[in-house]
Structure 1
């Protein structure tokens, strides 16, 4: 059985949880914060979470885990079969990861843990996040269905949780909710919340965030 290792506070852990649920794969979870202790680095060389433990060994990095799950359990498919459509789905997922979630990361300690953040960082992050949101709107389809068409993909799962993370940061730091000011994205997120695997994975994360007063 697969073991999902990571803190339930993490949106990246939530993405893998949602993928496992969507694939209807049996798994257990082990609560683990990212640390630099040698015992942890043996499994996760960069000390990050999530990672998964399998009967063949350990896999780190979310995108690698997604590819493994797709090969392990091809049905239901979470990538398009067509090579071009699959590449476009991965492209959108990377845009979300790098330029929305990634652009928000310098704000994490302030937004999630109440630490101070410099005005320089604040001034840098907001326009970067805004560019990422606009890029996502140009690439993805948000009017109906899912981000690359009519089927749920890993890109939808990734985008849902990465937007959610960034939204907490921008709301707390700037009093700016970029979701509500972009109605196509707001409607898209509402549709994803109706997907059982996404909703269940999000509930675990949100319950954990609420328990420590982050949201």
Structure 2
């Protein structure tokens, strides 16, 4: 059985976990935290999570893992069958993962972990996010899902990352850039939360946070 390695606070771990649960793909969850120890680097070259252990070896980077799962389990239809719609789903994931979340990630040190970010970083990230969110808004449908009327794999990315973008900008700038742009991500998250796989991901994340605080 495949092993998904990571921990429940990682949005990219949760993205892959959501896909696995949503499509009924058997897997074992293994608790692993990022590390630069050699034992970790043997599995994940940059010491990041998630990574997937398969009978063929280890695979890292969340989107590469999702693409692997789609190719290995074609009957599960992780991406839409039509090439255009599947490409639009990949486009949406790129916007969420790269243009929004990875840009906002520069703020997390201060927004979530008690550190500080420089004024230069704040200014640079603000300009980038405002620009990127405007582009995202041009393609995101929220009707009620990111790509239209039907849930798609793009929503596994949106579900785990849009709240982080909103919360980080609220913490650093005093305003939620997504809400400010007219993107009601909170209603969107409630819609996704109706899905059992999303509920499982969210419950496990909350349990991890509670256990960490109690430790």
TM (norm. structure 1) is 0.90
Over 3 Å counting, the alpha-carbon distance change for 1:78 and 1:152 in structure 2 is farther
1:176 alignment partner in structure 2: 175
Note the aligned Cα RMSD (angstroms). Answer: 1.8
Query: Which runs of 5 or more residues in structure 2 are unaligned?
Result: none
In the other structure, the counterpart of 2:160 is: 161
Q: CA deviation at 1:76?
A: 3.5
Q: Go from structure 1 to structure 2 and tell me whether the alpha carbon gap of 1:49 and 1:136 turns closer, same or farther (over 3 Å shift).
A: same
What is residue 199 of structure 2 aligned with on the other side? 199
Structure with higher RCO (Cα < 8 A, 6+ apart): 1
TM-superposed CA distance for 1:75, in Å, is: 3.8
**Structure 1, residues 45-102: CA drift from partner, whole Å, max 9, x if none?**
1211100111221111111111111122234422111111111110111011111101
1:27 counterpart residue number: 27
CA contact (8 A) 1:96 1:132 kept: no
CA–CA distance in structure 2, aligned partners of residues 153 and 67 of structure 1: 14
Counterparts of residues 57-68 of structure 1 (less than 5 Å)? 57-68=57-68
Range with greater deviation from structure 2 (155-164 or 186-195): 186-195
The verdict on how the C-alpha distance between 1:104 and 1:4 changes in structure 2, with shifts beyond 3 A counting, is same
- CA drift of 1:111 comes to 1.6
**What CA distance in whole angstroms lies between the structure 2 residues aligned with 1:138 and 1:162?**
18
2: distance between equivalents of 1:41 and 1:11? Answer: 20
Q: Deviations over 1:127-170 (max 9, x none)?
A: 3222222211101211x232223332221111221212222311
Which deviates more, 12-21 or 190-199?
A: 190-199
Q: Partner residue of 1:149?
A: 148
> How many pairs were matched up?
212
C-alpha deviation, 1:17, in angstroms? 0.9
C-alpha displacement of 1:27: 1.7
Secondary structure of 2:4's match? strand
Contact residue 53 and residue 59 of structure 2 kept, 8 A:
yes
The Cα of 1:210 is off from its aligned counterpart by 4.7
Q: How does 1:47-86 map to 2 (within 5 A)?
A: 47-86=47-86
